[in-house]
Structure 1
Amino acid sequence: MRLTPYERDVQREIEKWQHDDGSFVMQAVNWAMQPVDWVVRQFVSPELEDQVGAVVENLLSLLNDASEWTYDAGDLLAAARKQGLDVQRIEDLRNEPLEQLDPLARSLFTQHAILAAIEGGGTGLGGAVLIAADIPLLFTINLRLIQQIGAAYGFPMRGPDYRPLVLSIFNVAASGGREAKNAALREVSVAAAALANELTYKGRVSGIFREQSRQLPREIAKNLLGRKLAQTIPLAGAAVGAGINYWFTTETARAAYMLFRALYIERKERL
């Protein structure tokens, strides 16, 4: 199906995002965290990274079910109708004009980032003791955000079938690198092909998916570990916790925004 001029502009915006080195905030955080990252590389063993990666993997599986209780499709549909969209189901949104869906998706950014910052500031007061509570809460907020942004474009991200795409978004948010973006866009292509042909999306072929399931949680854990450890700095924990959570949630929103727009466009091109 032919794309509109607006959709062509968005396509170019996504291509630019794909090849850049991350947002200014991402680059600033990476620069500021270089000393902490060095300490992590020196003193955190690969075995510990694997253990944290396994925790992240299990956590995301559990939270995918739990987040269904915190995300109500009816609220999003009501917001869409206020914008003049005549939709009855989330899936109806994928057939609405992209220029009307983008503001709907962007309206979700700030509330989640602020919520994550408040949560991070509170748990940051407890230093290392409360980091264990902070990480599940942070992932809960961000998984809900991913699901809502996906739904804003007509793609409900509920259930294990969408796990590869969700993991890819988290990986882009945590690293901001070109390699992560390229891998996520390849996952988008698989999803777009399945959805355009009314097939069930199940991620890339099983061997790659199994490797991805092992590797991505480890990469996410590695990129977040040093930043979360910075919350243990005396007196600075609350500010660092709030800042890191705000940064991570903002990056999650941007990654999800770009990737779901890419999914919308590629699915339309394949119809």
Structure 2
Amino acid sequence: MRLTDREKDIRREIEAWQHADASVVTQAMDWAMRPLDWAVQQVTPPELVDQMSDRIGEFLAMLSDASEWTFADDDVLQAAEERGLVAEVVSDLRHEPLRELDALARSRFRQNALLAALEGGGTGLGGAALIAADIPLLFTINLRLIQQIGACYGFPMRGPAFRPLVLSIFNIAASGGREARNEALREVSVAAAAFANGQAYKGRVSGTFRDQNRHLPREIAKALVGRKAGQVVPLAGAAVGAGVNYWFTQQTAEAAHMCFRALYLDWKERL
């Protein structure tokens, strides 16, 4: 099916995002965190950093066994109805105009970012003792956000089959790099072909999930763990916890937004 002029403009916007350098927000975050990074190195034992990396990796690996996740379709369907969009099930939304779905998706951003910030600020008050609780909570909020944004575009991300795509979005959020965006959009292309042909999506690589993605949880952990370790610095833990969680959730929202717009357009072109 042919794309409209507006959809072609969005395609060019996605391509510009794909090839751009890290976002201004990510660069600013890197600059602002440099003094704290130094402080973290002085007060954080290496075994704590390893423990945090392991916690992130373990939580992301748990996605390989999850069949029921954290999100209910009714949340998005009700929000769609309030905007005048007609959908009995989530997949009906992919037949609505993209400009309407963009607005619906963006309405999910702020509430999840604020929730993550509040959670990070609260657990940051406890220093190292509560980091173990903070990490799975942060990823649960962001997993829910990815599912919500996917549903807004008519693509339910429910069940273990979608783990490769979900992990690729997490990887963009953590690293902010072009390579991560390229990998995610290649995954999007495979998913679009499956949806357009009525086939089951299985990811780009054959084999088990652990074989396909065993490197990704560790890479995501490496990109995020230095920021989370800042929560152990005395007096700074709450602010760091809130700030890092807000930043990471905003990055997740932006990555999911671009990837699911691309999925919508790829799916439509294949019809």
1:255 aligned counterpart, secondary structure: helix
Partner residue in 1 for 2:158: 158
> 1:64 Cα deviation (Å)?
6.4
Partner residue in 2 for 1:270: 270
The answer to whether the 8 Å contact 2:66/2:160 transfers is no
The answer to whether the 8 Å contact 2:63/2:160 transfers is no
Q: Is 1:58 matched with 2:61? A: yes
The answer to whether the 8 Å contact 2:205/2:212 transfers is no
CA RMSD of aligned residues (A): 2.3
The number of residue pairs the alignment matches comes to 267
> 1:47 Cα deviation (Å)?
7.2
Of the structure 1 ranges 206-215 and 227-236, higher mean CA displacement relative to structure 2 is found in 206-215
Between the aligned partners of 1:151 and 1:200, the Cα distance in structure 2 is: 17
Aligned ranges 1:20-99 → 2 under 5 Å: 20-34=20-34, 36=37, 39=41, 44=46, 51-52=54-55, 54-61=57-64, 65-67=68-70, 71-99=71-99
Q: Which amino acid aligns with 1:130?
A: L
Between the aligned partners of 1:63 and 1:209, the Cα distance in structure 2 is: 12
Partner residue in 1 for 2:251: 251
> 1:209 Cα deviation (Å)?
5.6
> 1:95 Cα deviation (Å)?
1.1
> 1:75 Cα deviation (Å)?
2.1
TM-score (norm 1): 0.91
Q: Is 1:12 matched with 2:12? A: yes
Between the aligned partners of 1:61 and 1:199, the Cα distance in structure 2 is: 20
Question: Which segments of 5 or more consecutive residues in structure 2 lack a partner in the other structure?
Answer: none
Between the aligned partners of 1:111 and 1:7, the Cα distance in structure 2 is: 27
Q: Is 1:234 matched with 2:234? A: yes
Of the structure 1 ranges 98-107 and 30-39, higher mean CA displacement relative to structure 2 is found in 30-39
Identity of aligned residues (%): 64
> 1:31 Cα deviation (Å)?
2.5
Partner residue in 1 for 2:114: 114
Between the aligned partners of 1:259 and 1:269, the Cα distance in structure 2 is: 15
The answer to whether the 8 Å contact 1:60/1:139 transfers is no
Question: Which segments of 5 or more consecutive residues in structure 1 lack a partner in the other structure?
Answer: none
Shift in alpha-carbon separation, 1:207–1:64, aligned structure 2, 3 A: closer
Shift in alpha-carbon separation, 1:245–1:229, aligned structure 2, 3 A: same
Runs of 4+ that moved beyond 6 A = 45-50
Q: Which amino acid aligns with 1:156?
A: P
Between the aligned partners of 1:22 and 1:187, the Cα distance in structure 2 is: 20
Q: Is 1:195 matched with 2:191? A: no
Between the aligned partners of 1:124 and 1:49, the Cα distance in structure 2 is: 14
1:266 aligned counterpart, secondary structure: helix
1:9 aligned counterpart, secondary structure: helix
Q: Which amino acid aligns with 2:95?
A: N
> 1:206 Cα deviation (Å)?
1.4
Q: Which amino acid aligns with 2:195?
A: L
Shift in alpha-carbon separation, 1:201–1:62, aligned structure 2, 3 A: closer
